[in-house]
Amino acid sequence: MNSAPESTPPRTPVSVIGLGNLGRALAAALVERGHPTTVWNRTAGRADDLVARGARRADTVGEALEAGELVIVCLLDQDAARAVLAQGAGALAGRAVVNITSGTPEPVRELADWAAGHGADYLAGAVYAVPQTIGTPEAFVLYSGSRAVFEAHRDTLDAVLGGGTFTGADPALASVHDMAVLSGMYGMFAGFFHGVALAGTEGISAADITRHMTRWLTEAAAALPGFAAEIDAGDYTTETSTLDINAWGLGAILTASRARGIGDALLAPLQELFRREVDAGHGAASLARTVESLPSHGRAPAWGHPRPKAGGR
Ligand SMILES: NC(=O)c1ccc[n+]([C@@H]2O[C@H](COP(=O)([O-])OP(=O)(O)OC[C@H]3O[C@@H](n4cnc5c(N)ncnc54)[C@H](OP(=O)(O)O)[C@@H]3O)[C@@H](O)[C@H]2O)c1
């Protein structure tokens, strides 16, 4: 007896607006997975390879918006995204638009409001991947805005971009998360560059010191959730890593660095925060208390305790 051939459900038609390095990789992944894929880019020739592989080139932004049940926008910045989407504003109503263009919270919220004003169902995303890793298990994406779009298209987005997490209805939230997460990364880079320079003054190669540094940084990263719990609770009691010991430790690094002509531009600002807390009488508190020395410019932090007055609590 002949059984009916197994059929896979048809894939969602997706449009990709913006074929830079990330957009091209994303569009290629969509084509590869069998999504009817429509692409648009300011420089139309960047679509040639994708068209050869089965994507459809849209001549206008409006055409791209209309062709996609899901529309993914991947442009240089929010200004470019606004300028491009404005070319097809009349076709935005009822579209599920996912904008993975990087941006700071205010412009991201402004563009989301503008798109929603034109009837789009809008989700903003922050991508943690490079073109070579999108769609792999290492890649992930933080989203905010329309939960309906996130839920309706989650499988497609997860498969071609990376595992997604919805962070809230305010479209700027993904960007706020992004800025905060990347702050951690840049802080790490600052320490890395300083350490490599310091080691270099004694002829230790970057590769050599990096081997030890990455081992220790892995340990140090594991301490962050504990620090976070202290910050959220506002309880900096510790028997592990006090501000006193860290202020001494970083002070020693800065002394050795200055003696070797490295300077202190990257790490002195952190030492200044340690000092403020120590001088305010919190030397025995956890290192995590450093965050209390960062002025919040009037915005209440999301932590579970009242903001301390200037000079410490
Ligand atoms: N690459 C990554 O690893 C990565 C990772 C995470 C997030 N992101 C974010 O994803 C976005 C795209 O990154 P990318 O690496 O693909 O950038 P990219 O290679 O520099 O491509 C930029 C894209 O924006 C378009 N564009 C720039 N200005 C424009 C304008 N005024 N009007 C219309 N189109 C304009 C370019 O069109 P033309 O081709 O015509 O110049 C191109 O399609 C950025 O916001 C980036 O921060 C990238």
CATH number at residue 219: 1.10.1040.10
Task: Name the pLDDT band for 9 (thresholds 50, 70, 90).
Answer: confident
Using the atom order of ligand 1, give the atom closest to the CA of residue 19.
Answer: 43
Of 19-28, 210-219, 288-297, give the lowest mean pLDDT range. 288-297
Query: Is the same domain home to 19 and 162?
Result: yes
42 lines ligand 1 (CB under 6 A): yes
Query: Is the same domain home to 40 and 110?
Result: yes
Instruction: Give me the sign of the Cα torsion angle 21, 177, 109, 297.
Output: negative
> CA-CA distance, 90 to 144, in Å (whole number)?
24
Q: What is the pLDDT of residues 85-104, one digit of tens each?
A: 999 999 999 999 999 999 99
Greater confidence (1 vs 252) lies with 252
Percent of the chain clearing pLDDT 70 (strictly above): 93
Last residue of a domain, one of 122, 139, 169: 169
65 lines ligand 1 (CB under 6 A): no
Query: Is the same domain home to 22 and 164?
Result: yes
Q: How high is the pLDDT of residue 304?
A: 59
Determine the average pLDDT of the residues in 132-159.
Answer: 96
Average of per-residue pLDDT values in the chain: 93
Task: Name the pLDDT band for 306 (thresholds 50, 70, 90).
Answer: low
Of 41-45, 145-149, 296-300, give the lowest mean pLDDT range. 296-300
Greater confidence (312 vs 258) lies with 258
Q: How high is the pLDDT of residue 27?
A: 98
Residue 171 is given by DSSP the state T
By most ligand atoms within 8 Å of CB, the mutation choice from 39, 50, 76 for ligand 1 is: 76
Determine the average pLDDT of the residues in 124-142.
Answer: 94
Task: Name the pLDDT band for 309 (thresholds 50, 70, 90).
Answer: very low
Domain around 245 = 177-293
Q: How high is the pLDDT of residue 8?
A: 73
Query: Is the same domain home to 226 and 86?
Result: no
In the chain the beta strands, taken as DSSP E runs, fall at 14-17, 37-40, 56-57, 70-73, 96-99, 121-128, 140-145, 163-166
**Alpha helix ranges (H) inside 118-172:** 147-160
20 lines ligand 1 (CB under 6 A): yes
Query: Is the same domain home to 145 and 74?
Result: yes
Q: How high is the pLDDT of residue 297?
A: 61
> CA-CA distance, 251 to 268, in Å (whole number)?
9
Identify whether 8 is part of a domain.
no
Query: Is the same domain home to 216 and 270?
Result: yes
119 lines ligand 1 (CB under 6 A): no
Identify whether 165 is part of a domain.
yes
The rounded Å distance from CA 136 to ligand 1 centre is 20
Q: What is the pLDDT of residues 25-80, one digit of tens each?
A: 999 999 999 999 999 999 999 999 999 999 999 999 999 999 999 999 999 999 99
Determine the average pLDDT of the residues in 214-236.
Answer: 96
99: β partners: 73, 124
Query: Is the same domain home to 119 and 233?
Result: no
Count of Cβ atoms closer than 10 Å to residue 149 Cβ? 22
72 lines ligand 1 (CB under 6 A): no
Task: Name the pLDDT band for 312 (thresholds 50, 70, 90).
Answer: very low
> CA-CA distance, 9 to 197, in Å (whole number)?
56
Query: Is the same domain home to 122 and 52?
Result: yes
Query: How many domains would you assign to the chain?
Result: 2
CB 50 within 8 A of CB 28: yes
Rounded alpha-carbon distances, angstroms, from residue 43 to 49, 58, 158, 195: 13, 12, 28, 43
18 lines ligand 1 (CB under 6 A): yes
Determine the average pLDDT of the residues in 224-229.
Answer: 96
Query: Is the same domain home to 137 and 216?
Result: no
Q: How high is the pLDDT of residue 313?
A: 31
Strand order in the sheet with 96-99: 56-57, 37-40, 14-17, 70-73, 96-99, 121-128, 140-145, 163-166
